[in-house]
Structure formats: structure tokens, C-alpha cells
Structure 1
């Protein structure tokens, strides 16, 4: 189901516009591109995830920030974001990725996850009951499982079971649609990415039946409401006074938001 992604992009001339049109035109799932040089705004429509669109623009050397996401059918049903940070001592950790959630219809949620700077291979990922990151993963509680079912895959396991994210050359992403939860049901909960792969409950160990044996949580974050389309037009961060471009460069360098 198509979604729209609104981005702020640091553009200075028509050549920037032409370059961004070119790179986005090569991204699978991008159906429509609308660029405003005066507003430094790019709107992309299609089935491509926000992380793929953002990465394509950043690969041109330009600073870019996702300002909002929403359904192509119109209206903002709901959107959320989870910022992944490292380890137990989150006060001193680095930002390593994002999960974005877009409610594209009353029944379907689009999920887009991207991480960087962790070990190559498969990493289990799940939504947990609690939004307490004081002692990851114990303080996050168990996998979110309101139906009381056994641990498993995205289709049949806990509603918080999201399967595996595969990291290659330091970068991993995962995008899918699901009708098993809605954005407003997961806001305030946490997400945890494990050190190893999730066996989807098919193993023989006790851990397989709990979390797929994915090991200790190495990245975690809290799911929070985010801006829908055209809900965020800021150019300067009210917290730090930095421009959007400075804020994004700090994030890209691994600093906390």
C-alpha cells in the first residue's frame, strides 16, 4: 500500500533538484517525486520505505531529514518513531538507527526499520511491553503478547514479534506491512534488537520459546508519536538551536538526539 514521505533536504540550486530526481528515480518502489527548491522540500510517494529514500538522498552527500510520513490516500491516521541507541548505559550511547511506523489504513501499519554500526548478520527484533530503558532488556519487560500466544514469526507469534533484521556491510533495513497492530497500540512501548538471530520459536532451547534465542539486547528505544505529513515545518530545533542540517549531521556521527 503506497505511503508518502516528506523530507527536508539541503538544496541550493537546480542541479541539486536534478540530482535528487535522478537518485530517487532509481529507488525501487518510488512512484512519484515532488521537489520544491524554494522550500527545500521533497515529497516521495510509493511503496519504498522512508529509510531507503533517506539513504538514497544522503548518498549524494546532502543533509536530509524525514519530516513526516502518511498515507497516500490522504489524512494522517497515525505515525510513530523509535530511535535505537546502544547498550545499557543509554546516557552515554550512540544513536544507531530508527524504526518508523505509518498507519496507512484503519487496519494496516507500514513498518520501516534501519540500523547501522552493529555486527553483520541476522538480529532478532521485537516490541516489548514497557518503555523503561533503565536496564535493557530486563526493564523493557517481555515481548508484547496481548493474545497470550507462543513466540514465533511475524504472522503467528507474539504481536510484538517482528522477525529478523539482516545487517550487511554495517547497514541493515527491514520494511513490511502488518495488520497485527496499529500505531496507537505500540506508542510508549519499547523495541529491542538482539545480538543474534531469532529462531522464530523453532529451536529446542527454553530461550527459543521466549525470544527465539536472540541473545542480549544490544539496541533499544521507546516508540513515540511522530509528525504526520505537513505537521512539521521547523527549520531550527527548539531544544538546541541547531538547524535541521546540523542536527542530522550530529545524528549521522552517532550522537544522541
Structure 2
């Protein structure tokens, strides 16, 4: 199964999500370009696919199990915590494999939610800032896109 999100904002790109079976990990790939500073930028799945007030309407990180924010390899993390992507010269390549998110169904399903690229590095819940355990102190939202089922004729 495949899903796709078209990112729009001060950076843009297309992110593809691929899952071979309901129990398999999801591969997240794509390219993001635009007005990036060089370095790491938080990359998360957020609760809603609602952009009526820009990326702000996307809500908080997708967290169906009410856990603290963490890194993608941590046991204690939001389902939507995918860590960071790294930009160089205005471009970031996305290549993530994650076992928490799901494209099929259930509490971990991300279809209809959004993917958000943040202005700053995600501290993976370890930064000691007041918002480290909720947002990873990742800063403003540079771009967002709704995650929807991919058209098989387009992928």
C-alpha cells in the first residue's frame, strides 16, 4: 500500500509512504526543497489533515497512546515522532523506515493526518527545554501536507 503527501509552505516536496503488509514497517521517502537553513529539521506526523489555519490547524504530534515525545528508536515516543531530516544547500532527502506508523487501519493509521517539517532540530525529547517532551523543541512549522492514499497510476 502507498500513501503520499504534498508539502506546501516555505519548503515543499512530495513524501511517499510505502507499507508491504499491515505488520510491516513503513518506508518514508521523498525530497524537500526550499528556504531551509542547513542542518537538521524536525519531521513529524501531526494529528489532523486540517489546514484551515495553515499548518497550525494540524494539531499536535500524532500521539494516540499519550506518551512523551521521543526519538524514532525510543520505546517512549509519540507514534508521529519520525525524528529529523537534514538539509544541505536548500535540499533534504527523506529516507526513513518506521515500525510505529501504519497505512492500513487501527490506532496507528496515519491516513488523513499530516506530515510537518519544522524550522529547528528535534531534540528527541532529550533537550531539557519546557517543550522537549511535547514537541522536541523543533520550532515553527515550515511546511505541511495531508497524507492520503496514493493513486496507483501515479506512483
TM-score band w.r.t. shorter chain: 0.7 to 0.9
Aligned partner of 1:116 in structure 2 is 33
Once the two structures are TM-superposed, the CA of residue 176 in structure 1 deviates from its matched residue by 2.3
Q: Distance in 2 between matches of 1:99 and 1:151?
A: 22
3-state SS in 1 of match to 2:7 = strand
- RMSD in angstroms over aligned alpha carbons? 1.6
Distance 2:79 2:50 in 1: 19
Q: Is the 8 A contact 1:124 1:163 kept in 2?
A: yes
Q: Secondary structure at the match of 2:48?
A: coil
1:47-62 to 2 correspondence within 5 Å? none
Q: Which aligned pairs between 1:91-240 and structure 2 lie closer than 5 A?
A: 96-108=12-24, 109-119=26-36, 120-156=38-74, 157-184=77-104, 185-228=109-152, 232=153
How many equivalent pairs are there? 146
Q: Which has the higher contact order (CA 8 A, sep 6+)?
A: 2
Cα distance, 1:136–1:201 mapped onto 2, change above 3 Å: farther
Kept in 2, the 8 Å contact 1:113–1:174? The answer is yes
Gaps of 5+ in 2: none
Give ranges in structure 1 of 5+ residues lacking alignment: 1-77, 88-94, 234-257
SS of residue in 2 equivalent to 1:211 = coil
Q: In 2, are the aligned partners of 1:137 and 1:217 still within 8 Å (CA)?
A: yes
Distance in 2, Cα, partners of 1:207 & 1:136: 21
Does structure 2 retain, via aligned residues, the 8 Å contact 1:113–1:173? yes
Between structure 1 and structure 2, the one with the greater Rg is 1
State whether residues 71 and 83 of structure 2, in contact with CA within 8 Å, keep that contact through their aligned partners in structure 1. Answer: yes
CA contact (8 A) 2:22 2:103 kept: no
Distance 1:136 1:214, change over 3 A: farther
Structure 2: distance between partners of 1:147 and 1:155: 16
